[in-house]
Amino acid sequence: MAEAAVVFTPPESYTGRLMHYCPGCTHGIIHRLVAEVIDDLGARERTVGVCPVGCAVYAYNYLNLDMIEAAHGRAPAVATGVKRVLRDRVVFTYQGDGDLASIGTAEIVHAAARNEAITVVFVNNAVFGMTQGQMAPTTLVGQRASTAPCGRRPEHEGYPVKIVEMLNALEGPTYLARASMASPRWVRDAKKKLRKAFLAQVEHGGFGLVEVLSSCPTWWGKPPLEALKWIESDMMAYYPVGELRDLPDGQAKGK
Amino acid sequence: MSDASPRYGEPVLMKGNEAVCEGAIWAGCRFFFGYPITPQNQIPEYMSRRLPEVGGVFLQGESELASISMVYGAASAGARVMTTSSSPGISLMIEGISYLYGSELPAVIVNVSRGGPGLGNISAAQSDYTQATHMGHGDISMVVLGPNSVQELYEMTAWAFDIADEARAPVMVLADAVLGQMMEPMRPREDAPPPPPSKPWATTGCAGRAPNVVNSLYTADDDLEALNVRVRDRYLRVADRICRCEETQADDADVLLVSFGTSSRVCETGVARLRSRGVRAGLLRPLTLRPFPSARLLELAGSVRVMLAVEMNLGQMLEDVRLAVQGRVRVDFLGRTGGNIPSVAAVAEAAERALAGSD
């Protein structure tokens, strides 16, 4: 019998622990993409990640890196503190929309304005997941949430916030993109964008952010596949996918 | 304050706020994140010029909320790091200080207190004593130092870094607008500071070791209780060694003034004036507000007839004095607030009134 050879392993930057996320949650995919990108860059041992308050508060259980738990919304400030001390390490944050687009709006704007050499993975699922489905600044018009039982009404709750477009008004940031988890084709695209957001830091010494449109089957009240379809039909219609600000040389150098 | 044989240089006329900076830099602090607020703006301004001179990093945060989180990140990365603010800004930092404490991270926070509550004013007050000594959500035992001169601002800020690293916790230096703005001769240290301890727990990238996680989330109840007990025990061991107070003619006093910071300077003059009138007055000045010199106060409760707490607030350290003496002696109070400072005459009169009412 031929000897078995190992031809594929999970990323080194993934701890291998069973994840606590809901069935159909796209955090699992995004964690994996981040782990793969860090492995591709050979950066695991010189990377420090900052977790949010949100479902991904436990990201430190799944990413095999030095990790720091930040206060709600403050991850870009925590990352700034780390990066200003350890200039040659790779520093990234992983934040949900309640974290980044609600309580953390000041911190993300100013980190981007400073072109702080960090990478931000912004997981937008249009709802506060961990606290059980409240309306977020990114909840779509008409979308129901536990604190918007009639659905978001512009005249009462205003319009959803487009973070990447807002940040694109600043001089500072190096790379700004929006990606989606809606289907495998978009997952592959998201990985490319995440890689560029890390290269914004590693090769261009600047700020890179990818907003990843994600699903929350539990609080959207949809089965997982339907939730993914809703990303494509509804979220991508309001939050356009694309690269709003590309790396200076238009593409990744080297590896 | 922690060294066997410190060496001092020639005196320099220096502002209190600047002495904070020089004390921090002497102690090896190379990172400062802060936000403008009166009456401590000279600190970020001075650090913005001075830190780059010593190879450090200054960054103005977009708010106090951001600044304390930048401190948290830098502390996580193993650096000696400081922030400063004043009353309303400290309120914004409280959540971050609780996070530092629960994550077992060292950092130094200086409060140059002003009048409150709310926006208050920019005059000196001591009305953040309770906030400092009962800091944050959760069971927090944070060391709080109480300077009363430019020299002490320098020395205590430096000392705070050693305490913070040993306790693996935030440490506060509680000053006020008068101390921050005053200028006095200050003698800087010329010897080298003790080297900081190694920090194997820091998040510096996991080369050659298992990953470190800096975190204050412990979902299992027993785990969180164990964290709380562990950090409390570490505080108690440090507290045992560092508890400090300064006494002026307390041993034979009939009336003991108890006061810290700026109001203690008024009390020093008050004691002299009372003694010149034949009143046996004394002063106990806590240098560490936490740990509070309760044992010494309990001891003195056996020999004095009455105590008088003097503060620039409506009665905050007063509570700690009353707790300390366990009802064995009456503790009266003299306080002014809003930026007002008790006068020597008012202190002397209150001390005599206290004595008169103590038979």
CATH number at residue B212: 3.40.50.970
Q: What is the pLDDT of residue B3?
A: 56
Look at residues B242, B273, B289 and tell me which one is the last residue of a structural domain: B242
Does residue A250 have a pLDDT over 70?
no
Range of the domain at A229: 27-245
Kindly state whether residue A185 falls inside one of the protein's structural domains. Answer: yes
Element (H, E) at A90: strand A90-96
Regarding whether B266 and B211 lie in a shared domain, the answer is: no
Kindly state whether residue A2 falls inside one of the protein's structural domains. Answer: no
Over residues B225-240, the pLDDT tens digits come to: 999 999 999 999 999 9
Sort B45 into a burial class: Cβ within 10 Å, 0-12 / 13-18 / 19+.
middle
Regarding whether B249 and B312 lie in a shared domain, the answer is: yes
Kindly state whether residue B4 falls inside one of the protein's structural domains. Answer: no
A233 min Cα distance to partner chain B (Å): 37
Regarding whether B250 and B203 lie in a shared domain, the answer is: no
Does residue A45 have a pLDDT over 50?
yes
User: How far apart, in whole angstroms, are the C-alpha atoms of residue B123 and residue B139?
Assistant: 31
Single-letter residue type at A102: S
Rg (CA), chain B: 20
Kindly state whether residue B77 falls inside one of the protein's structural domains. Answer: yes
Regarding whether B178 and B44 lie in a shared domain, the answer is: yes
Q: What is the pLDDT of residue B160?
A: 98
Kindly state whether residue B259 falls inside one of the protein's structural domains. Answer: yes
Kindly state whether residue A89 falls inside one of the protein's structural domains. Answer: yes
Kindly state whether residue A7 falls inside one of the protein's structural domains. Answer: no
Element (H, E) at A48: strand A47-51
User: How far apart, in whole angstroms, are the C-alpha atoms of residue A49 and residue A35?
Assistant: 11
Kindly state whether residue B285 falls inside one of the protein's structural domains. Answer: yes
Query: Are the C-beta atoms of B179 and B84 separated by less than 8 Å?
Result: no
B37 min Cα distance to partner chain A (Å): 18
To the question of pTM greater than 0.90 for the whole model, the response is yes
Regarding whether B199 and B229 lie in a shared domain, the answer is: yes
| Site from B30, B33, B57, B69 to mutate, A interface, most A CB atoms within 10 angstroms | B69
Q: What is the pLDDT of residue A142?
A: 97
Does residue B359 have a pLDDT over 90?
no
Kindly state whether residue B24 falls inside one of the protein's structural domains. Answer: yes
Q: Does B344 touch chain A (CB under 8 A)?
A: no
Over residues A159-190, the pLDDT tens digits come to: 999 999 999 999 999 999 999 999 999 999 99
Look at residues B216, B242, B268 and tell me which one is the last residue of a structural domain: B242
Kindly state whether residue B5 falls inside one of the protein's structural domains. Answer: no
Kindly state whether residue A148 falls inside one of the protein's structural domains. Answer: yes
CB-nearest partner of B214 from A47, A68, A77: A68
Regarding whether B186 and B332 lie in a shared domain, the answer is: no
Q: Pick the residue from chain A with its C-alpha nearest to B99.
A: A71
Mean pLDDT of chain B: 97
Sort B34 into a burial class: Cβ within 10 Å, 0-12 / 13-18 / 19+.
buried
Regarding whether B70 and B214 lie in a shared domain, the answer is: yes
Kindly state whether residue B162 falls inside one of the protein's structural domains. Answer: yes
Range of the domain at B312: 245-356
CATH value at residue A36:
3.40.50.970
CB contact residues (below 8 A), chain B span 178-207, against chain A: 203-207
Q: What is the ipTM of this complex?
A: 0.92
Regarding whether B59 and B204 lie in a shared domain, the answer is: yes
Over residues A70-112, the pLDDT tens digits come to: 999 999 999 999 999 999 999 999 999 999 999 999 999 999 9
Q: What is the 8-class DSSP label of residue A130?
A: T
Kindly list the distances between the CA atom of residue A157 and the CA atoms of A140, A164, A235, B300, in Å, as whole numbers in the listed order: 11, 20, 18, 62
Q: What is the pLDDT of residue A254?
A: 36
Over residues B110-141, the pLDDT tens digits come to: 999 999 999 999 999 999 999 999 999 999 99
Q: Taking the C-alpha atoms of B161, B163, B165 and B167 in order, what is their torsion angle to the nearest 10 degrees?
A: -150
Of B46, B40, B109, B60, the residue nearest B81 (C-alpha): B109
Q: Which two tokens stand for residue B347?
A: 């202190």
Kindly state whether residue A58 falls inside one of the protein's structural domains. Answer: yes
Rg (CA), chain A: 18
Q: What is the pLDDT of residue B358?
A: 76
Regarding whether B230 and B93 lie in a shared domain, the answer is: yes
Number of domains in chain B: 2
Q: What angle do CA B156, B160, B162 make, to 5 degrees?
A: 120
Q: What is the 8-class DSSP label of residue A88?
A: T
In 10 A of CB B321, how many CB atoms? Answer: 26
Element (H, E) at A40: helix A27-40
Kindly list the distances between the CA atom of residue B168 and the CA atoms of A66, A115, B143, B189, in Å, as whole numbers in the listed order: 18, 32, 11, 25
Contacts of A84 in chain B (CB under 8 A): 31, 57, 59, 70, 74
Query: Are the C-beta atoms of B73 and A81 separated by less than 8 Å?
Result: yes
CB-nearest partner of A85 from B69, B77, B99: B77
Residue with tokens 């020093």: B268
**Mean pLDDT within A217-224:** 97
A169 min Cα distance to partner chain B (Å): 18
Contacts of A64 in chain B (CB under 8 A): 206, 211
For A204, list phi and psi in degrees, rounded to 5: -120, 0
Q: What is the pLDDT of residue A191?
A: 98
- B123 sits in the region (left: phi over 0; alpha: psi -120 to 50; else beta) called beta
Query: Are the C-beta atoms of B301 and B254 separated by less than 8 Å?
Result: no
Q: What is the pLDDT of residue A249?
A: 78
CA–centroid distance for B352 within its chain: 30
Residue with tokens 């659905």: A151
Q: What is the pLDDT of residue A252?
A: 45
For B267, list phi and psi in degrees, rounded to 5: -65, -35
User: How far apart, in whole angstroms, are the C-alpha atoms of residue B41 and residue B303?
Assistant: 44
Query: Are the C-beta atoms of B114 and B338 separated by less than 8 Å?
Result: no
Q: Does B100 touch chain A (CB under 8 A)?
A: no
CB contact residues (below 8 A), chain B span 59-88, against chain A: 59, 61-63, 65-67, 69-79, 81
CATH value at residue B258:
3.40.50.920
A219 min Cα distance to partner chain B (Å): 22
Three-state DSSP string of chain B: CCCCCCCECCCEEEEHHHHHHHHHHHCCCCEEEECCCCCCCHHHHHHHHHHHHCCCEEEECCCHHHHHHHHHHHHHCCCCEEEEECHHHHHHHHHHHHHHHHCCCCEEEEEEEECCCCCCCCCECCCCHHHHHCCCCCCCCCEEECCCCHHHHHHHHHHHHHHHHHHCCEEEEEEEHHHHHCEEEECCECCCCCCCCCCCCCCCCCCCCCCCEECCCCCCHHHHHHHHHHHHHHHHHHHHHHCCEEEECCCCCCEEEECCHHHHHHHHHHHHHHHHCCCCEEEEEECEEECCCHHHHHHHHCCCCEEEEEECCCCCHHHHHHHHHCCCCCEEEEECCCCCCCCHHHHHHHHHHHHHCCC
User: How far apart, in whole angstroms, are the C-alpha atoms of residue A189 and residue B258?
Assistant: 68
Regarding whether B313 and B300 lie in a shared domain, the answer is: yes
Kindly state whether residue B111 falls inside one of the protein's structural domains. Answer: yes
Regarding whether B227 and B193 lie in a shared domain, the answer is: yes
Q: Which two tokens stand for residue B87?
A: 């009353």
Number of domains in chain A: 1
In 10 A of CB A21, how many CB atoms? Answer: 18
Q: What is the 8-class DSSP label of residue A216?
A: -
Q: What is the pLDDT of residue A255?
A: 31
Regarding whether B302 and B216 lie in a shared domain, the answer is: no
